[in-house]
Amino acid sequence: MARPITFNRDEVLGRATEVFWEHGYCDTSVSQLVEATRLKPGSLYAAFESKEGLFLAALDRYAQQSCRRLRALLAEAPDPLRGVEQLFEQLADSGRREARRGCLLVNSVLEVGRLNLTVQARARAHLAEIEAILRGALEQARANGELATGKSPESLAKFLMTTIWGLRVLGGTGADRESAQLVIAEALSLLRD
């Protein structure tokens, strides 16, 4: 009888995420995943069923970590709007490699989301969760009287998400930090009176 597969799932997903993030879904080979995860092909398939299954699990892990970091950032901020501003400051301050790699969720939508409805649905669900977190912060800011008069937390959250996507794509083009800061300043100017 074969021994059950034992490995640290989170570590394996972390390594696989790095490979997918660096090369994209289509250009990542099973041999690269085997090398990165240190699992044999049979073990990968037994645990994740397919390359797509591993990719979806990696997307889930990436999104969960992103949401956890965003919630922590907003919780530690002195007020909700300052938390949103800090999020954008982090985007502007990301290093060249981080900026070039962009967001794995956005990258996935651009690369395979139009062709693979499963990936599209998964990425869309994760992006909607991030948007909901931002909307919650903006609703709290409105309740605190901090949000610009007449602004809708729902439409602002959608606008900020679109701005984040654009910044992630801009970073992938190798644009300088100043270009990102101009976009961020304009976006954030809509939040306060």
pLDDT digits (tens, 9 = 90+) for 134-160: 999 999 999 999 999 999 999 999 999
Q: Which region holds residue 150: left if phi is over 0, alpha if psi is between -120 and 50, else beta?
A: left
Domain of residue 88: give its range: 63-188
> Quick check: is 4 in a domain?
no
Q: What per-residue confidence (pLDDT) applies to 4?
A: 53
Tally of helices (H runs) and strands (E runs) in the chain: 10, 0
Question: Exposure of 177 by Cβ count < 10 A (0-12 exposed, 13-18 middle, 19+ buried)?
Answer: middle
pLDDT digits (tens, 9 = 90+) for 107-144: 999 999 889 999 999 999 999 999 999 999 999 999 99
CATH number of the domain encompassing residue 88: 1.10.357.10
Q: Output the six-digit token pair for 80.
A: 């909700």
> Quick check: is 82 in a domain?
yes
Q: Does 171 or 8 have the greater pLDDT score?
A: 8
> Quick check: is 139 in a domain?
yes
CB 29 within 8 A of CB 44: no
- CA 103 – CA 172 distance, rounded (Å): 9
Q: What is the model's pTM?
A: 0.89
| Number of structural domains found in the chain | 1
Q: What per-residue confidence (pLDDT) applies to 176?
A: 80
> Quick check: is 117 in a domain?
yes
Please give the share of the chain, as a percent, with pLDDT higher than 70: 94
> Quick check: is 184 in a domain?
yes
